[in-house]
Amino acid sequence: MIIPVPKPIKGQRLIERQGGKDPKYLEAVKQLPCCICLRDGPSDAHHTFCGRFSRAKTSDREAIPLCKQCHQWGPLAIHNGKESWVERNGPDTDYIAPTQAAVERMMK
- Would you say residue 3 has pLDDT above 60? no
Rounded Cα–Cα distance for residues 65 and 34 (Å): 5
Rounded Cα–Cα distance for residues 80 and 21 (Å): 26
Mean pLDDT, residues 20-28 taken together: 90
Rounded Cα–Cα distance for residues 67 and 98 (Å): 16
Rounded Cα–Cα distance for residues 100 and 6 (Å): 11
pLDDT tens-place string over residues 27-42: 999 999 999 999 998 9
Rounded Cα–Cα distance for residues 44 and 30 (Å): 6
* 64 DSSP β-pair partners: 46
Q: What pTM does this model have?
A: 0.78
